[in-house]
Protein backbone atom coordinates (compact mmCIF):
# COMPACT_ATOMS: atom_id res chain seq x y z
CA UNK A 1 0.00 0.00 0.00
CA UNK A 2 1.44 3.34 -1.09
CA UNK A 3 1.67 6.01 1.60
CA UNK A 4 0.73 9.55 0.59
CA UNK A 5 3.74 11.81 1.31
CA UNK A 6 3.21 14.50 3.92
CA UNK A 7 4.52 18.05 3.67
CA UNK A 8 4.14 20.16 6.78
CA UNK A 9 3.52 23.90 6.97
CA UNK A 10 7.09 24.36 8.19
CA UNK A 11 8.39 22.52 5.13
CA UNK A 12 6.18 24.64 2.87
CA UNK A 13 7.57 27.81 4.46
CA UNK A 14 11.11 26.52 3.92
CA UNK A 15 10.37 26.07 0.21
CA UNK A 16 8.71 29.48 0.05
CA UNK A 17 11.71 31.16 1.68
CA UNK A 18 14.28 29.52 -0.58
CA UNK A 19 12.35 30.28 -3.75
CA UNK A 20 10.74 33.67 -3.09
CA UNK A 21 12.30 35.34 -0.05
CA UNK A 22 16.07 35.18 -0.50
CA UNK A 23 18.37 36.21 2.31
CA UNK A 24 21.31 38.56 1.71
CA UNK A 25 23.56 35.73 0.46
CA UNK A 26 21.09 34.48 -2.15
CA UNK A 27 19.62 37.62 -3.72
CA UNK A 28 19.34 37.89 -7.49
CA UNK A 29 21.55 40.08 -9.65
CA UNK A 30 19.06 40.66 -12.48
CA UNK A 31 15.34 41.31 -12.80
CA UNK A 32 14.85 38.29 -15.05
CA UNK A 33 16.18 36.03 -12.28
CA UNK A 34 13.54 37.40 -9.93
CA UNK A 35 10.75 36.89 -12.47
CA UNK A 36 11.84 33.31 -13.11
CA UNK A 37 11.89 32.54 -9.38
CA UNK A 38 8.29 33.71 -8.80
CA UNK A 39 7.00 32.71 -12.28
CA UNK A 40 5.49 36.14 -13.06
CA UNK A 41 5.41 39.62 -11.54
CA UNK A 42 2.08 41.33 -10.94
CA UNK A 43 2.11 44.42 -13.18
CA UNK A 44 -1.35 45.94 -12.69
CA UNK A 45 0.20 48.54 -10.40
CA UNK A 46 3.33 49.89 -12.10
CA UNK A 47 5.22 50.51 -8.84
CA UNK A 48 4.75 46.90 -7.75
CA UNK A 49 6.97 45.54 -10.50
CA UNK A 50 9.97 47.68 -9.54
CA UNK A 51 9.65 47.00 -5.82
CA UNK A 52 8.98 43.27 -6.23
CA UNK A 53 12.21 42.99 -8.20
CA UNK A 54 14.28 45.25 -5.95
CA UNK A 55 13.21 43.44 -2.77
CA UNK A 56 14.80 40.24 -4.08
CA UNK A 57 17.95 41.74 -5.64
CA UNK A 58 21.42 42.52 -4.38
CA UNK A 59 22.17 46.22 -4.90
CA UNK A 60 19.04 46.92 -6.98
CA UNK A 61 19.09 49.84 -9.40
CA UNK A 62 15.87 51.49 -10.56
CA UNK A 63 17.44 52.14 -13.97
CA UNK A 64 18.62 48.57 -14.52
CA UNK A 65 15.24 47.16 -13.49
CA UNK A 66 13.46 49.50 -15.91
CA UNK A 67 15.84 48.60 -18.72
CA UNK A 68 15.07 44.89 -18.34
CA UNK A 69 11.34 45.49 -18.04
CA UNK A 70 11.08 47.40 -21.29
CA UNK A 71 13.67 45.84 -23.58
CA UNK A 72 11.36 42.81 -24.12
CA UNK A 73 14.22 40.40 -24.79
CA UNK A 74 14.01 38.32 -21.62
CA UNK A 75 10.73 39.66 -20.21
CA UNK A 76 7.32 40.45 -21.67
CA UNK A 77 4.26 42.23 -20.29
CA UNK A 78 1.11 40.33 -21.11
CA UNK A 79 -2.47 39.86 -19.94
CA UNK A 80 -2.48 36.50 -18.26
CA UNK A 81 -3.97 34.91 -15.14
CA UNK A 82 -7.39 36.23 -14.11
CA UNK A 83 -7.31 38.81 -16.94
CA UNK A 84 -4.51 40.61 -15.08
CA UNK A 85 -1.33 42.21 -16.39
CA UNK A 86 1.87 40.34 -15.56
CA UNK A 87 5.55 40.49 -16.46
CA UNK A 88 6.60 36.99 -17.52
CA UNK A 89 9.77 35.37 -18.87
CA UNK A 90 9.68 35.52 -22.66
CA UNK A 91 10.37 31.79 -22.82
CA UNK A 92 7.20 31.13 -20.80
CA UNK A 93 5.03 33.52 -22.83
CA UNK A 94 3.71 30.87 -25.30
CA UNK A 95 2.48 28.78 -22.35
CA UNK A 96 0.79 31.78 -20.74
CA UNK A 97 -0.80 32.80 -24.02
CA UNK A 98 -2.34 29.39 -24.75
CA UNK A 99 -3.24 28.48 -21.16
CA UNK A 100 -4.76 31.74 -19.96
CA UNK A 101 -4.35 34.60 -22.43
CA UNK A 102 -6.40 33.40 -25.37
CA UNK A 103 -9.27 32.06 -23.21
CA UNK A 104 -9.41 35.49 -21.54
CA UNK A 105 -9.43 37.16 -24.94
CA UNK A 106 -12.28 34.96 -26.18
CA UNK A 107 -14.37 35.82 -23.14
CA UNK A 108 -13.65 39.55 -23.49
CA UNK A 109 -14.49 39.50 -27.21
CA UNK A 110 -17.74 37.67 -26.52
CA UNK A 111 -18.71 40.26 -23.93
CA UNK A 112 -17.73 43.14 -26.21
CA UNK A 113 -19.81 41.74 -29.05
CA UNK A 114 -22.80 41.47 -26.74
CA UNK A 115 -22.34 45.10 -25.70
CA UNK A 116 -22.02 46.20 -29.34
CA UNK A 117 -25.27 44.50 -30.26
CA UNK A 118 -27.07 45.97 -27.24
CA UNK A 119 -25.87 49.45 -28.21
CA UNK A 120 -26.78 48.96 -31.88
CA UNK A 121 -23.24 49.44 -33.19
CA UNK A 122 -22.45 46.32 -35.15
CA UNK A 123 -22.03 42.57 -35.36
CA UNK A 124 -19.15 40.09 -35.41
CA UNK A 125 -18.11 41.09 -38.94
CA UNK A 126 -17.99 44.78 -37.91
CA UNK A 127 -15.87 43.93 -34.85
CA UNK A 128 -13.48 41.83 -36.92
CA UNK A 129 -13.04 44.70 -39.39
CA UNK A 130 -12.31 47.21 -36.59
CA UNK A 131 -9.85 44.77 -35.02
CA UNK A 132 -8.01 44.37 -38.31
CA UNK A 133 -7.90 48.14 -38.83
CA UNK A 134 -6.59 48.67 -35.31
CA UNK A 135 -3.71 46.24 -35.77
CA UNK A 136 -2.86 47.84 -39.11
CA UNK A 137 -2.79 51.28 -37.46
CA UNK A 138 -0.36 50.01 -34.83
CA UNK A 139 1.78 48.38 -37.51
CA UNK A 140 1.99 51.65 -39.48
CA UNK A 141 2.89 53.77 -36.44
CA UNK A 142 5.19 51.35 -34.64
CA UNK A 143 3.38 52.15 -31.40
CA UNK A 144 0.35 54.22 -30.42
CA UNK A 145 -1.69 55.00 -27.32
CA UNK A 146 -5.32 54.02 -26.85
CA UNK A 147 -6.36 57.64 -27.41
CA UNK A 148 -4.32 57.88 -30.61
CA UNK A 149 -5.83 54.69 -31.97
CA UNK A 150 -9.36 55.76 -31.04
CA UNK A 151 -8.82 58.87 -33.16
CA UNK A 152 -7.22 57.03 -36.08
CA UNK A 153 -9.54 53.99 -36.43
CA UNK A 154 -13.19 54.66 -37.41
CA UNK A 155 -15.60 53.26 -34.84
CA UNK A 156 -13.01 52.66 -32.15
CA UNK A 157 -13.99 55.83 -30.30
CA UNK A 158 -17.65 54.87 -29.90
CA UNK A 159 -18.95 54.79 -26.34
CA UNK A 160 -20.67 51.76 -24.85
CA UNK A 161 -23.39 52.22 -22.26
CA UNK A 162 -22.89 49.52 -19.64
CA UNK A 163 -25.82 48.41 -17.42
CA UNK A 164 -28.22 51.01 -18.88
CA UNK A 165 -30.90 52.26 -16.52
CA UNK A 166 -29.14 50.85 -13.44
CA UNK A 167 -27.82 53.00 -10.58
CA UNK A 168 -24.32 51.90 -11.59
CA UNK A 169 -24.76 52.71 -15.31
CA UNK A 170 -21.44 53.70 -16.88
CA UNK A 171 -19.82 54.46 -20.21
CA UNK A 172 -16.56 53.31 -21.72
CA UNK A 173 -15.07 53.36 -25.19
CA UNK A 174 -14.92 50.34 -27.46
CA UNK A 175 -11.17 50.94 -27.62
CA UNK A 176 -10.67 50.02 -23.97
CA UNK A 177 -12.18 46.54 -24.29
CA UNK A 178 -10.92 45.79 -27.79
CA UNK A 179 -7.28 46.65 -27.14
CA UNK A 180 -7.35 44.62 -23.94
CA UNK A 181 -8.73 41.62 -25.85
CA UNK A 182 -6.21 41.99 -28.69
CA UNK A 183 -3.40 42.04 -26.13
CA UNK A 184 -4.72 38.97 -24.31
CA UNK A 185 -4.97 37.19 -27.68
CA UNK A 186 -1.28 37.78 -28.34
CA UNK A 187 -1.58 40.48 -31.02
CA UNK A 188 -0.49 43.50 -28.98
CA UNK A 189 1.78 44.17 -26.06
CA UNK A 190 2.54 47.22 -23.97
CA UNK A 191 5.11 49.53 -25.52
CA UNK A 192 6.82 52.57 -24.03
CA UNK A 193 5.44 54.16 -20.89
CA UNK A 194 3.89 57.61 -21.06
CA UNK A 195 4.53 59.43 -17.82
CA UNK A 196 6.55 58.67 -14.70
CA UNK A 197 7.58 55.30 -13.32
CA UNK A 198 4.26 54.84 -11.50
CA UNK A 199 2.16 55.74 -14.55
CA UNK A 200 -0.16 53.19 -16.14
CA UNK A 201 -0.36 55.26 -19.33
CA UNK A 202 1.41 53.53 -22.16
CA UNK A 203 1.58 52.94 -25.90
CA UNK A 204 0.64 49.72 -27.67
CA UNK A 205 2.95 47.90 -30.06
CA UNK A 206 2.70 44.64 -32.00
CA UNK A 207 3.52 41.61 -29.87
CA UNK A 208 6.28 39.21 -30.93
CA UNK A 209 5.03 36.16 -32.75
CA UNK A 210 4.91 33.25 -30.31
CA UNK A 211 4.80 29.50 -31.01
CA UNK A 212 1.31 28.04 -30.89
CA UNK A 213 0.40 25.43 -28.26
CA UNK A 214 -2.76 23.37 -27.68
CA UNK A 215 -4.56 24.75 -24.63
CA UNK A 216 -4.63 21.45 -22.63
CA UNK A 217 -0.88 20.97 -23.14
CA UNK A 218 -0.22 24.58 -22.11
CA UNK A 219 -2.35 24.24 -18.97
CA UNK A 220 -0.43 21.14 -17.90
CA UNK A 221 2.86 22.92 -18.52
CA UNK A 222 1.72 25.94 -16.52
CA UNK A 223 0.77 23.66 -13.61
CA UNK A 224 4.30 22.23 -13.63
CA UNK A 225 5.80 25.71 -13.59
CA UNK A 226 3.45 26.82 -10.80
CA UNK A 227 4.26 23.79 -8.67
CA UNK A 228 7.96 24.43 -9.22
CA UNK A 229 7.61 27.98 -7.91
CA UNK A 230 4.71 27.70 -5.43
CA UNK A 231 4.17 24.02 -4.74
CA UNK A 232 2.94 22.13 -2.99
CA UNK A 233 -0.50 23.62 -3.38
CA UNK A 234 -4.14 22.68 -3.70
CA UNK A 235 -6.58 22.56 -6.59
CA UNK A 236 -8.26 25.59 -5.02
CA UNK A 237 -4.94 27.47 -5.11
CA UNK A 238 -4.37 26.68 -8.78
CA UNK A 239 -7.95 27.44 -9.75
CA UNK A 240 -7.77 30.83 -8.05
CA UNK A 241 -4.34 31.71 -9.46
CA UNK A 242 -5.10 30.73 -13.06
CA UNK A 243 -8.78 31.63 -13.27
CA UNK A 244 -9.60 28.20 -14.74
CA UNK A 245 -12.70 26.18 -13.95
CA UNK A 246 -12.46 23.35 -11.40
CA UNK A 247 -12.68 20.79 -14.23
CA UNK A 248 -9.90 22.47 -16.24
CA UNK A 249 -7.72 22.67 -13.14
CA UNK A 250 -8.17 19.03 -12.18
CA UNK A 251 -7.44 17.86 -15.73
CA UNK A 252 -4.33 20.04 -15.89
CA UNK A 253 -3.06 18.69 -12.55
CA UNK A 254 -3.56 15.13 -13.78
CA UNK A 255 -1.88 15.86 -17.12
CA UNK A 256 1.06 17.43 -15.30
CA UNK A 257 1.51 14.12 -13.43
CA UNK A 258 1.56 15.96 -10.13
CA UNK A 259 1.97 13.81 -7.03
CA UNK A 260 -0.74 13.88 -4.38
CA UNK A 261 0.55 14.91 -0.96
CA UNK A 262 -0.98 15.43 2.45
CA UNK A 263 -0.69 18.93 3.89
CA UNK A 264 -1.29 19.95 7.49
CA UNK A 265 -4.87 19.69 8.75
CA UNK A 266 -5.36 16.75 6.37
CA UNK A 267 -5.67 18.93 3.27
CA UNK A 268 -4.90 17.28 -0.08
CA UNK A 269 -2.24 19.04 -2.10
CA UNK A 270 -0.05 18.37 -5.11
CA UNK A 271 3.67 18.62 -5.76
CA UNK A 272 6.19 17.76 -8.44
CA UNK A 273 7.76 14.34 -8.02
CA UNK A 274 11.25 15.86 -8.11
CA UNK A 275 10.25 18.23 -5.33
CA UNK A 276 9.80 15.24 -3.04
CA UNK A 277 13.09 13.53 -3.87
CA UNK A 278 15.37 16.00 -2.10
CA UNK A 279 14.25 17.35 1.30
CA UNK A 280 14.57 21.12 1.62
CA UNK A 281 16.99 22.17 4.32
CA UNK A 282 15.96 24.99 6.60
CA UNK A 283 17.06 28.22 4.86
CA UNK A 284 18.57 31.19 6.63
CA UNK A 285 15.82 33.34 8.17
CA UNK A 286 15.26 36.41 6.00
CA UNK A 287 13.46 39.71 6.40
CA UNK A 288 11.78 40.96 3.22
CA UNK A 289 9.49 43.89 2.44
CA UNK A 290 7.08 43.07 -0.39
CA UNK A 291 4.81 45.58 -2.15
CA UNK A 292 1.06 45.50 -2.70
CA UNK A 293 0.00 42.80 -5.18
CA UNK A 294 3.35 41.04 -4.97
CA UNK A 295 3.18 37.58 -6.61
CA UNK A 296 4.20 35.73 -3.46
CA UNK A 297 1.23 36.56 -1.20
CA UNK A 298 -1.03 36.54 -4.28
CA UNK A 299 0.15 33.06 -5.27
CA UNK A 300 -2.23 30.99 -3.15
CA UNK A 301 -5.94 30.98 -2.32
CA UNK A 302 -5.34 29.15 0.96
CA UNK A 303 -2.68 31.15 2.82
CA UNK A 304 -2.90 29.76 6.35
CA UNK A 305 0.60 28.26 6.31
CA UNK A 306 2.23 31.72 6.17
CA UNK A 307 -0.54 34.18 7.16
CA UNK A 308 -2.51 34.45 10.40
CA UNK A 309 -6.23 34.67 9.42
CA UNK A 310 -6.67 37.39 12.06
CA UNK A 311 -4.43 39.69 10.01
CA UNK A 312 -6.32 39.41 6.70
CA UNK A 313 -8.64 42.36 7.47
CA UNK A 314 -5.70 44.72 8.00
CA UNK A 315 -3.63 43.59 5.00
CA UNK A 316 -6.26 43.03 2.26
CA UNK A 317 -8.82 45.32 0.66
CA UNK A 318 -12.43 44.26 0.07
CA UNK A 319 -11.60 42.86 -3.38
CA UNK A 320 -8.95 40.48 -2.07
CA UNK A 321 -5.92 42.57 -3.07
CA UNK A 322 -3.06 42.46 -0.58
CA UNK A 323 -1.18 45.55 0.52
CA UNK A 324 2.52 45.96 1.44
CA UNK A 325 3.74 43.21 3.77
CA UNK A 326 6.66 42.52 6.10
CA UNK A 327 8.01 38.95 6.08
CA UNK A 328 10.24 37.07 8.48
CA UNK A 329 11.29 33.44 8.18
CA UNK A 330 8.59 32.55 5.64
CA UNK A 331 5.70 34.27 7.42
CA UNK A 332 3.90 37.59 7.07
CA UNK A 333 4.51 39.34 10.38
CA UNK A 334 3.40 42.89 9.59
CA UNK A 335 2.80 45.63 7.05
CA UNK A 336 4.50 48.80 5.86
CA UNK A 337 3.83 51.96 3.85
CA UNK A 338 5.65 54.93 2.36
CA UNK A 339 4.73 58.28 3.90
CA UNK A 340 4.60 61.55 1.98
CA UNK A 341 8.07 62.50 3.21
CA UNK A 342 9.47 59.26 1.76
CA UNK A 343 10.08 57.47 5.04
CA UNK A 344 8.90 53.89 5.37
CA UNK A 345 6.64 53.16 8.32
CA UNK A 346 6.09 49.57 9.46
CA UNK A 347 4.24 47.68 12.13
CA UNK A 348 4.34 44.14 13.44
CA UNK A 349 0.98 42.36 13.56
CA UNK A 350 2.21 39.00 14.78
CA UNK A 351 3.69 38.08 18.12
CA UNK A 352 7.07 39.74 18.57
CA UNK A 353 9.42 37.56 16.49
CA UNK A 354 12.45 38.53 18.57
CA UNK A 355 15.47 40.81 18.46
CA UNK A 356 17.11 39.13 15.46
CA UNK A 357 13.94 39.56 13.39
CA UNK A 358 13.40 43.19 14.47
CA UNK A 359 16.99 44.06 13.64
CA UNK A 360 16.80 42.36 10.23
CA UNK A 361 13.47 44.02 9.41
CA UNK A 362 14.85 47.43 10.38
CA UNK A 363 17.85 46.89 8.11
CA UNK A 364 15.59 45.86 5.24
CA UNK A 365 13.45 48.95 5.74
CA UNK A 366 16.57 51.10 5.42
CA UNK A 367 17.74 49.17 2.34
CA UNK A 368 14.46 49.60 0.49
CA UNK A 369 14.16 53.25 1.52
CA UNK A 370 17.60 53.78 -0.02
CA UNK A 371 16.45 52.05 -3.21
CA UNK A 372 13.42 54.36 -3.48
CA UNK A 373 15.44 57.49 -2.73
CA UNK A 374 13.38 60.51 -3.78
CA UNK A 375 10.75 58.41 -5.54
CA UNK A 376 7.25 58.36 -4.12
CA UNK A 377 4.35 56.00 -4.75
CA UNK A 378 0.93 55.04 -3.40
CA UNK A 379 -0.50 51.54 -4.01
CA UNK A 380 -3.35 51.42 -6.50
CA UNK A 381 -5.35 49.25 -4.09
CA UNK A 382 -5.13 50.64 -0.59
CA UNK A 383 -5.61 48.52 2.51
CA UNK A 384 -6.60 49.46 6.08
CA UNK A 385 -3.10 49.10 7.55
CA UNK A 386 -1.40 50.92 4.66
CA UNK A 387 -3.83 53.85 5.06
CA UNK A 388 -3.31 53.92 8.80
CA UNK A 389 0.48 53.95 8.52
CA UNK A 390 0.40 56.89 6.10
CA UNK A 391 -2.12 58.98 8.00
Residue 310 lies in a domain: yes
Q: Are residues 187 and 293 in the same domain?
A: no
Q: Are residues 294 and 200 in the same domain?
A: no
When comparing pLDDT for 50 and 265, which is higher?
Answer: 50
Residue 331 lies in a domain: yes
- With both helix axes pointing from N to C terminus, report the angle between 124-141 and 174-184 in degrees, rounded to the nearest 10: 80
pLDDT value, residue 122: 79
Residue 332 lies in a domain: yes
Look at residues 206, 229, 250 and tell me which one is the last residue of a structural domain. 206
- In the predicted structure, residue 111 carries a pLDDT above the cut 70: yes
Distance of alpha carbon 136 from alpha carbon 185, whole angstroms: 16
Structural domain harbouring 298: 287-390
For 179-197, what is the mean pLDDT? 93
- Tell me how crowded residue 213 is: count the other CB atoms within 10 A of its CB: 17
Provide the pLDDT confidence category of residue 317 given band limits of 50, 70 and 90. very high
Provide the pLDDT confidence category of residue 70 given band limits of 50, 70 and 90. confident
How confident is the model over 23-34, as pLDDT tens digits?
999 999 999 999
Residue (of 130, 145, 35) closest to 92 by Cα position: 35
**DSSP per position, 134-156:** HHHHHHHHS-EEHHHHHHHSTTT
pLDDT value, residue 339: 97
Mean pLDDT is lowest, of 156-170, 301-315, 324-338, 352-366, for: 156-170
Residue 246 lies in a domain: no
Look at residues 159, 180, 206 and tell me which one is the last residue of a structural domain. 206
Could you tell me if 42 and 52 are in contact, meaning their C-beta atoms sit under 8 angstroms apart? yes
Q: How does the average pLDDT of the chain come out, rounded? A: 94
For 1-5, what is the mean pLDDT? 78
- In the predicted structure, residue 35 carries a pLDDT above the cut 90: yes
pLDDT value, residue 160: 85
Residue 300 lies in a domain: yes
pLDDT value, residue 27: 95
Residues forming beta bridges with residue 262, ordered by sequence position = 6, 268
Provide the pLDDT confidence category of residue 18 given band limits of 50, 70 and 90. very high
How confident is the model over 246-305, as pLDDT tens digits?
999 999 999 999 999 999 988 999 999 998 887 777 888 899 999 999 999 999 999 999
Residue 47 lies in a domain: no
Look at residues 181, 206, 231 and tell me which one is the last residue of a structural domain. 206
345 burial (CB, 10 Å; 0-12 / 13-18 / 19+) is middle
- In the predicted structure, residue 164 carries a pLDDT above the cut 80: no
- In the predicted structure, residue 168 carries a pLDDT above the cut 80: no
- In the predicted structure, residue 1 carries a pLDDT above the cut 60: no
How confident is the model over 207-257, as pLDDT tens digits?
999 999 999 999 999 999 999 999 999 999 999 999 999 999 999 999 999
Residue 4 lies in a domain: no
Residue 253 lies in a domain: no
Question: What percent of the chain has a predicted confidence (pLDDT) above 90?
Answer: 82
What is the tally of structural domains in the chain? Answer: 2
What ranges in the chain are assigned the alpha helix state H? 9-20, 31-38, 46-54, 62-71, 93-96, 102-119, 124-141, 146-152, 174-184, 215-230, 235-242, 246-255, 273-277, 312-315, 355-372, 384-390
Provide the pLDDT confidence category of residue 367 given band limits of 50, 70 and 90. very high
Q: Are residues 105 and 194 in the same domain?
A: yes
When comparing pLDDT for 277 and 368, which is higher?
Answer: 368
Cα Rg, the chain, nearest whole Å: 22
pLDDT value, residue 280: 77
- In the predicted structure, residue 162 carries a pLDDT above the cut 80: no
Amino acid sequence: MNTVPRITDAQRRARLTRRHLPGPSRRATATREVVESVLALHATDAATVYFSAAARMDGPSHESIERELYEREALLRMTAMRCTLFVVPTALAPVMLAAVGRPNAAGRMKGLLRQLEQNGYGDAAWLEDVSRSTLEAVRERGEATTAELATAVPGLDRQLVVSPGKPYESRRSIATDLLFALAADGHLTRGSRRGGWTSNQHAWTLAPELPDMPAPLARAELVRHWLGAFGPGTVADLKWWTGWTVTETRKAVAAAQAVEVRLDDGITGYALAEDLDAPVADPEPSAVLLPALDPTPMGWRERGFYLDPDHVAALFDRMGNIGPTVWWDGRIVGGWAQRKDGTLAWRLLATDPGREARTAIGAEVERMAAFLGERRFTPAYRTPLERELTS
